Structures are given as structure tokens and as C-alpha cells.
């Protein structure tokens, strides 16, 4: 049975080198990966809430009250997206050699009903990133690569395993040969963008099916700061077009860049987050970046879930929270009472912990941990995936 690369080699008239296959996750150097844009600046002097507080707010009493009266959590749905990306080959076109990158994408949404977590919906998508040179004739990329996906999915091996590829994603080779060109990174970025589009698609489906509302928020693992995209579905490319899908969505990031924060006087203030008392939230900062995000403002704040005496670093136990501003909120800020209620509910989601199971335990919300674990459990094994090529 023909392997994937044999089909690609034949269909695109390239030369496969059958090079060593590996996961990019297994060779990366130690680094800090932030969920948000590491270059952005948040200024607390630009208030994003109606109360415009200047100090942190203690939410312990409100969080305890919600538990004592048995108030159901605002959060009913939990969404996580992830990807596993692999170098699967090198291929030559016009005497130039380019990397071939493949990815597994998992997007999962779980819902909590009667205190039990269960699957709401799940996407598993297999994608391949090829150099744009694979389209030697230069005609419409979308049609050309879609036709090659059809050829791949006719593979006897894929049919036997009940698998199919969703897309072939062309990456630009215009800078090939430049000293600073990293074509692998461009290929991985294409797969990352595809994963983000799948997240947006799932949120749009939940809204269309009337799953979300004021008593049924969606908590998304990671940032909501979706950059403007040049490819993909037209109706999902910009936040401006889809922002009302996010009326009942809150993004919670386990990792963030603390150096991006300035206090209300405009001075660096990362120690404000580090010294945030347990069960306190910061004031909400208004953030917008027209070039990166379009004309969509955010309310951003931080909550300490764990006492820093019990964590390894000052920022362990702190999460960054985002909410897109809607309609009147753009002019007036998000209602401070709503911010407090969302924050108290997030605090109450901190237990039980996943201590010892995940190194990010101090920043994890348990329903998110369960959703993330579910998504990862649905991946094809690395051995099986790489064997396809």
C-alpha cells in the first residue's frame, strides 16, 4: 500500500528524500511559551470596567457565598485546542529542498451537567503542510491542494484505519535560501492557524445551537486574542466578524508575559501580579491592538488561585482572564459586578487540583484539565501517525 509521501511525490512531481521523522515537541529547547502576544503592553490606567478600581479586589467572601448557597457555576462548557506537529520528510522541487510537516489537531468541548463532565463535541483533524512550490502550475492553490487531499484520502491504508486528511496547507517559500528563513516555522504556523480556525468554528457551532448564555458560559483554555488571518474561512478571519459569538465566552491563560503590564501611572508593574494576594483579582485593563486584532477591545485581568507560599515561582497560581467587550461595554467598560462574579466562579473551579499529574497544576482549573486530558486521549499514537508517511 502506498504511503502518504509516495502519493505526494507522484501527484506533485516532487522528489521525496525519506528523511528521519520526528516530533517538533521532542527537540525544542527549553523556553517559556506564552498563551498571549508576548510583545503587547497592558496599561491599568486604561480601565476596562465600570468601577475603575485602583487596587486588587478580595473575592474570597463572594466565592464562599456562591458555594454555601449551592449556586451553579456560570461555566457549563469547557473548550481546549491542541496540536502535535511532526517533520515527516524533505521534498525537492526545482532542485530546492523543502520540509514536509504534518500535524494532528484536536479540538474538544466538554460540558458539565449534574456535576458530571461529558463530551459535547470533538474534532480530530489530520493536516499536511507543503511548500507552495508543490503547485508547479501556479493555478488556484485552494483547488489544487483540495484535489490532492482527495487523492490522499483514496489511500487504502487510510481507509483501512478509518482515517482521512482534512487539508493540505501550502506555506510560502519566497524567502527560501535567506539566512534568517526558517521554513519549518512557516509550516508549523500554517498548522497553528488551522487549529485556531477550528476553535473558532466550534464556538460558532455552539452559538448556532444555542448552547451558550448568561447561565451557561464557555471557558476556553488559552487566549481569545485571535490575530487577523489572511487564509481560511472568510466568515472566521477577523474577530470583528465573529465577536458576538464570544458574548458568553471567557478565555483563561495558564501562562502569560508578566513584563507586559504597566500600572495606572505607566510604570512597569509585574511585581503587582507576583504580589497579588490569594483569591484577589486585579483591576480590569482595557486592551486593543488594531493592527494585530482589528477593532475589537478586550477586558483583561489576573486572579491568584493559589497562595504563592505553596508554589515554585511568584507567578504560579495566577491566571490571566480575557473577555471581549460588547456594545455598551466598549464605551463604559465591563460591569464590575459581572467581573467579580466571573472571577469568583473561576476561583471555585480551582479544586480539585491535578497536583503531580501536570506540572502546571497551580494554574490549572480542573474542568479544563479534564477537557485537555480528553482531547489528548483521542490522538492517534505517534508511531501510527508517522507510519502513515
Which residues lie across from 213 on neighbouring strands? 216
CA 353/CA 364 separation, integer angstroms: 7
Q: What is the reported pLDDT for 28?
A: 43
Give CA separation, 368 vs 50, 220, 252, 328, in Å. Answer: 29, 8, 10, 30
Indicate whether 1 belongs to any domain.
no
Residue 91 within a domain = yes
Cα separation, 88 vs 188, in Å, equals: 12
Q: Is residue 364 part of a domain?
A: yes
DSSP tag of 318? E
Beta strands at 285-287 and 318-324: parallel, antiparallel or unpaired: unpaired
In a domain, 80, yes or no: yes
- Stated as kind and residue range, the H or E segment containing 361 is none
- What range defines the domain where residue 299 resides? 13-387
**How distant, in Å, are the alpha carbons of 112, 172, 262 from that of 119?**
9, 37, 40
Instruction: For residue 117, count other CB atoms closer than 10 A to its CB.
Output: 15
* Residue 93: its H or E element: strand 75-93
Q: What is the DSSP letter of 255?
A: -
At residue 305, the 3 state secondary structure works out as coil
Distance CA 327, CA 336 (A): 16
Q: What's the number of CA atoms in the CB half-sphere (13 Å) around residue 17?
A: 16
Dist CA 368 CA 112 (whole Å): 11
Give me the half-sphere count of Cα atoms (radius 13 Å) on the Cβ side of residue 159: 9
The one-digit pLDDT tens for each residue of the chain (389 residues) are 689 999 999 999 999 999 999 998 754 433 334 455 555 666 666 788 998 888 999 999 999 999 999 889 999 999 999 999 999 999 999 889 999 999 999 999 999 998 899 999 999 999 999 999 999 887 888 899 999 999 999 999 999 999 999 999 999 988 766 655 689 999 999 999 999 999 999 999 999 999 999 999 999 999 998 888 877 788 888 888 899 999 999 999 988 877 666 666 666 667 888 889 999 999 999 988 887 788 899 999 999 999 888 787 888 889 999 999 998 999 999 999 999 999 999 999 998 888 878 788 888 899 999 999 999 999 999 999 999 99
The grid cell for 266 is 505607566
Closest CA to 248 of 283, 211, 294: 211
Nearest to 21 by CA among 87, 84, 85: 87
What is the model's pLDDT at position 361?
Answer: 84
The rounded distance, in Å, linking the Cα atoms of 212 and 247 is 9
User: 322 with 346: CB under 8 angstroms?
Assistant: no
In a domain, 4, yes or no: no
Contacts of 165 (CB under 8 A, 6+ apart): 126, 127, 128, 149, 152, 153, 158
6 within a domain of the structure (yes/no): no
pTM of the model: 0.90
pLDDT of residue 195: 94
How many structural domains is the chain composed of? Answer: 1
Q: What are the φ and ψ backbone dihedral angles of 292, each rounded to 5 degrees?
A: -90, -40
Return the pLDDT at 31.
37
Amino acid at each position: 500500500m502506498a504511503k502518504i509521501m509516495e502519493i505526494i511525490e507522484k501527484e506533485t512531481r516532487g522528489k521525496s528524500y525519506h528523511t528521519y521523522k520526528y516530533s517538533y515537541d521532542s527537540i525544542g529547547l527549553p523556553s517559556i511559551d506564552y498563551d498571549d502576544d508576548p510583545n503587547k503592553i497592558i496599561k491599568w490606567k486604561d480601565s476596562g470596567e465600570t468601577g475603575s478600581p485602583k487596587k486588587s479586589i478580595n473575592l474570597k467572601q463572594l466565592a464562599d457565598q456562591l458555594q454555601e448557597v449551592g449556586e451553579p457555576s456560570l461555566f457549563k462548557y469547557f473548550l481546549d485546542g491542541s496540536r502535535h506537529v511532526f517533520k515527516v520528510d524533505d521534498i525537492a522541487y526545482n532542485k530546492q529542498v523543502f520540509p514536509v510537516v504534518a500535524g494532528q489537531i484536536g479540538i474538544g468541548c466538554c460540558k458539565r451537567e449534574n456535576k458530571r463532565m461529558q463530551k459535547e463535541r470533538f474534532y480530530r483533524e489530520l493536516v499536511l503542510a507543503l511548500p507552495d512550490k508543490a503547485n508547479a502550475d501556479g493555478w488556484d492553490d485552494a483547488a489544487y491542494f483540495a484535489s490532492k487531499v482527495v487523492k490522499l484520502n483514496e489511500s487504502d491504508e487510510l481507509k483501512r484505519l478509518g482515517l482521512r486528511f482534512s487539508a493540505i496547507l501550502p506555506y510560502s517559500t519566497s524567502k527560501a535560501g535567506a539566512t534568517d528563513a526558517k521554513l519549518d516555522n512557516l509550516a508549523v504556523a500554517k498548522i497553528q492557524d488551522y487549529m485556531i480556525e477550528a476553535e473558532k468554528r466550534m464556538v460558532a457551532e455552539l452559538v448556532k445551537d444555542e448552547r451558550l448564555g448568561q447561565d451557561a458560559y464557555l471557558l476556553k483554555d488559552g487566549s481569545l486574542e485571535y490575530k487577523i488571518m489572511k487564509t481560511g474561512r472568510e466568515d472566521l478571519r477577523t474577530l470583528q466578524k465573529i465577536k458576538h459569538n464570544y458574548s458568553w465566552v471567557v478565555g483563561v491563560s495558564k501562562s502569560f508575559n508578566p513584563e507586559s503590564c504597566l500600572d495606572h501611572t505607566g510604570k512597569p508593574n509585574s511585581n503587582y501580579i507576583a504580589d497579588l494576594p490569594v483569591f484577589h483579582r486585579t483591576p480590569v485593563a482595557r486592551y486593543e491592538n488594531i493592527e494585530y486584532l482589528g477593532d475589537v477591545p478586550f477586558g483583561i485581568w489576573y486572579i491568584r488561585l493559589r497562595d504563592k507560599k505553596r508554589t515554585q515561582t511568584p507567578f504560579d497560581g495566577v491566571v490571566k482572564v480575557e473577555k471581549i467587550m460588547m456594545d455598551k461595554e466598549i464605551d463604559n467598560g465591563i460591569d464590575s459586578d459581572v467581573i467579580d462574579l466571573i472571577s469568583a466562579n473561576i476561583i471555585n473551579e480551582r479544586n480539585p487540583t491535578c497536583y503531580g499529574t501536570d506540572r502546571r497544576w497551580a494554574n490549572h482549573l480542573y474542568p479544563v484539565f479534564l477537557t485537555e486530558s480528553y482531547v489528548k486521549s483521542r490522538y492517534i499514537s505517534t508511531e501510527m501517525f508517522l507510519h502513515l508517511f
